[in-house]
Amino acid sequence: MARSAEQALLREGESPDTVRSYRSALRYWAAWFGGRYGRPIALPLGEAAVLQFIVDHAARTEAADGRACELPPALDAALVAAGHKGRPGPLGLSTLLHRVSVLSTLHRQHALDNPCAGPRVRALLAGTRRAHARRGDGPAKKPALTREPLEALLATCDDSLCGQRDRALLLFAFASGGRRRAEVVAATVENTPREGAHYIHVMGRSKTNPEGRARSDQLKPVTGRAAQALADWLGAAGITSGPLFRRVRRGDVIGEPLAAAAVRDIVRRRCALAGLPEDYSAHSLRSGFVTEAGRQGVPLGETMALTGHRSTASLIGYFRGAVTQSAAARLLEPEAEAAPPAPAPQPGEP
C-alpha cells in the first residue's frame, strides 16, 4: 500500500508532458525488445540488451555493410508501421539518450540493478555523444520568434473571439518572459491579477521550479500591448475566474481550458496564415524573447528575472543570431563605426 502511494505521488509530481514522454519511451522499449528477442520485456533488463539497443539506434558512418545503424530492416519497418517510430533509420541523439534515461529511471524507482549505470553502457553512450559531436550532429533548434515575425503573426489576428484569444496568448507568452506552453495554459485569473493598466502573473510551479517554492523572480509583469490584449480577450470571452486561455467552440461558445499542445497549434496556424517559411514552434516564443532582449541590449539580469533562468549559461543557449550584435564582439572596431557620434548642436541650441 505504501509503495503504491509512493508511486502515485511520484506520478502526480511529474508534469503531464513528462509522463507522456516516459510512457512513449517505455512503449518503444517494449516493442523493440519483443521484436528483437521474441519475448515480452521484463525487469530488470540485462546490460547486454541495453548495449544492443544503443548500437541498434545510434547512427554510424563507418558501418561495414553501409547501414546507418544496426537495427534489422524488418524490425525497423515494423516499428514504423506500428507507429512507434516516425521514420526508418537511427534515432536522433537526444531521443536515444532520453529512452536510455527513462529505462534507467524505471530501474531506480523499483530499486532494481540498473543496467544503464554499468561501465560498458556509460562508455558506449559517451562515445556516441563524441561521435555525433565530431560529425557536427548537434540538436536541431527551432528558430527564434523575434519581434518581426511575431508582428506578422499578430497581424493575422482579427477581432473575432479566436483572433482576440490568439493575440492575447501570443503577447502574454512573449512579453511575460517567453513562457513555456505548459506555463501559458497554467495561467489563471487568480494567479494573474490586474493592477491598474497592468497584470502581474505570479509564477508557481515551472520547469526550473518544480516544487513551486517562493522565489524573488516569481512576479512576471504583463504590460502595454500585452496587457491590453489580455483585457480585451477576457472581457469579450466573459472570463472572470479560472484559466485565462480557453477553447472557442462553434458559435463563439467558450469551452474548456486549452491544453499545452494547443499553444503549439496556435503558433503553427498563425505562421501558416502569415506565410512565414520558418519552422517555428511554441518554444520559439521563449528563444524569441531572449534573442530580442539581447538585440535591444537588455541586461542579462533583467532578462533572467522574467525567463526564470538560474544560470547565464542556460540563458545564452536560447540566443538565436543575437551574438553577432554583441558589443563584446566589436572591441577592435573604431569608435566611430561602433557608435555613431551625436549630431553637432546647431547655432542657438544649448
- The residue ranges of DSSP E strands in 40-172, in sequence order, are none
- Residue 163: per-residue pLDDT: 97
Q: Is the pLDDT of residue 321 over 70?
A: no
pLDDT digit string, tens, across residues 70-82: 899 999 999 999 9
Render pLDDT for 174-224 as a digit per residue (tens, 0 to 9).
999 999 998 999 999 999 999 999 999 998 765 555 555 656 668 899 999
- Which residues does 229 contact at the CB level (< 8 Å), separation at least 6? 164, 167, 168, 171, 172
323 contacts 329 by C-beta, under 8 angstroms: yes
Give, as one character, the DSSP assignment of residue 253: E
Q: What percent of the chain has pLDDT over 70?
A: 78
CA dihedral 49, 51, 52, 57 (to 10 degrees): 130
The span from the CA of 288 to the CA of 178, in Å, is 7
Residue 135 CB neighbours (<10 A): 10
Nine cell digits for residue 334:
573604431
Strand order in the sheet with 198-202: 194-195, 198-202, 219-222
Query: How many residues make up the chain in this entry?
Result: 350
Helices 147-154 and 284-295 cross at an angle (nearest 10°) of 130
pLDDT category, 131, cuts 50, 70, 90?
Answer: confident
> 45-65, pLDDT tens digit by residue?
999 999 999 999 998 876 554
pLDDT per position as a tens digit, 227-242:
999 999 999 999 999 9
pTM value?
0.64
202 SS3 class: strand
For the chain, domains (ranges, CATH) are 2-135 (1.10.150.130), 147-323 (1.10.443.10)
Over residues 132-141, the mean pLDDT reads 70
284: nearest Cα among 296, 297, 273, 271: 271
- As a whole number of angstroms, the distance between CA 27 and CA 82 comes to 11
Cell (9 digits) for 252: 463563439
Q: Which residues fall within 8 angstroms of residue 23, CB to CB, at 6 or more apart?
A: none
C-alpha cell belonging to residue 25: 519511451
Helix (H) / strand (E) element for 199: namely: strand 198-202
Grid cell locating 82: 506500428
User: What local confidence, expressed as pLDDT, does residue 206 receive?
Assistant: 54
* End-to-end Cα, the chain, rounded Å: 82
Q: What is the pLDDT of residue 234?
A: 97
Cα–Cα dist 107/96, whole Å: 17
